[in-house]
Amino acid sequence: MITLADQLLVLVLLINFISLGTSRLIFSIRAVAVQGVILGILPGLIHPFSWHLVGITTVIIAVKGFVIPLLLVRAVRSAEIKREVEPFLGYVPTLLLGAVFTALSFGFAGKLPMLPEHQNYMFVPASIATLMSGFLVLTTRRKAISQVIGYLILENGIFIFGLLLAEAMPIMVEAGALLDLLVGTFVMGIVINQISREFSSLDTSRLTSLKEE
């Protein structure tokens, strides 16, 4: 089971690179949806069966795999944009940076003082690498929808870290994480709407005109 989990985590890492390297928004959203589904399966592989676990799995697959991607695809369709053009940083440099960060996170995770039973998993490095990829998407892309995607990847990274603690994790923390996601999506939804209404464009760099002088 552990090896299967590790293989799935490799898949998660590869999906990070897909989102870093593609300019097509729909493709990127689908990739993140697949990542969400994988994350939903993971808890079942590493923890013994319990109804609590079933609940978590269902909610995560439903929210991360279907609800949020559907909302995003709809936003993309209604805004009639297909591609992220002119990112702040090109796709190849972003991919390279992503690779560097992934390597660094593996190095860093090895140094962390962890419990012996967590030592051999790929969870921690995968978590940090995903987190960094999310940050990269957030910092390099212009379109508000790309920002949401970056935020989702970031959230996925945090979620992977939480997986190690799923049994010890109090419900409050889970609820907090889901709430976080919800709020994040809402805020971004509002931002998307406001930007496109105010500037008839989804370019977040236009937000600079809102800056107080």
Partner 1 sequence: MAQELVAASTLIFAATLLAALSGAPLLVPGLLSVSRGQLLATVLMLAASALGLIGAAVALISGSSEIFQLAWALPFGPAEIGIDPLSAWFLIPIFLITGCAALYARTYWHAGHYPHNVRKMTFFFGVMTAGMSAVVLARDGISFLFAWEIMALASYFLITTEDEKPEVNAAGTLYMITTHTGTLGLFALFPLLNLLSGSWLFPAAGSLTASSPLAAAVYLIALFGFGMKAGIMPLHIWLPSAHANAPSHVSAVMSGVILKVGVYGIVRTLSFFNAVPLWWGCSVLALGGVSGVVGVAFAIGQHDLKRLLAYHSIENIGIIFMGLGVALVGQATGSPAMMLLGMSGALLHVLNHALFKALLFLGAGSVIHATGTREMDLMGGAARRLPYTALLFGVGAVAICGLPPLNGFVSELLIYLGFFQGIQGTGGAAAAAAALAAPALALVGGLAVACFVKVYGIVFLGSPRAERHEASHEAGWPMLLPMLLLGSICLVIGLAPSLVAGPLGRVSLTVLPLLVTTAGLPLQELAPLEMITIAGALLLALISLVTFWYRRRLAGTVCSENVTWGCGYQRPAPRIQYSASSFAGMLTSLFAFVLKPQSHPPEIAAGIFPDRSRFSSHVPEAVLELVYIPALKRLYARFSGVRKLQNGILQQYVLYSLVTLVVLLAVSYF
- Which parts of this chain interact with partner 1 (CB under 8 A)? 88, 104, 107-108, 111, 128, 132, 135-136, 138-142, 147, 150, 170, 172, 204-205, 207-211
Beta strand extents in the chain (DSSP E only) = none
The smaller minimum CB distance to partner 1, of residues 144 and 163, is found at 144
What minimum distance in Å lies between the beta carbon of 86 and partner 1? 13
The smaller minimum CB distance to partner 1, of residues 55 and 107, is found at 107
What minimum distance in Å lies between the beta carbon of 191 and partner 1? 8
3-class DSSP state for residue 81?
coil
The smaller minimum CB distance to partner 1, of residues 22 and 139, is found at 139
What minimum distance in Å lies between the beta carbon of 104 and partner 1? 8
Distances (CA, A) of 93 to 21, 140, 144: 9, 10, 21
Distance CA 12, CA 34 (A): 9
The smaller minimum CB distance to partner 1, of residues 3 and 209, is found at 209
The smaller minimum CB distance to partner 1, of residues 70 and 171, is found at 171
**What's at 201, amino acid-wise?**
S
Quick one: tokens of 77? 């369709």
Quick one: tokens of 23? 């300019």
The smaller minimum CB distance to partner 1, of residues 35 and 140, is found at 140
What minimum distance in Å lies between the beta carbon of 170 and partner 1? 6
**What's at 151, amino acid-wise?**
Y
What minimum distance in Å lies between the beta carbon of 207 and partner 1? 6
Angle at 71 between CA 67 and CA 76, to 5 degrees: 145
What minimum distance in Å lies between the beta carbon of 177 and partner 1? 15
Quick one: tokens of 8? 């799935």
Residues whose CB falls within 8 Å of the CB of residue 141, separated by 6 or more in sequence, listed in order: 84, 87, 88, 147, 149, 150
**Could you tell me where the DSSP H helices lie in 62-116?**
68-79, 91-111
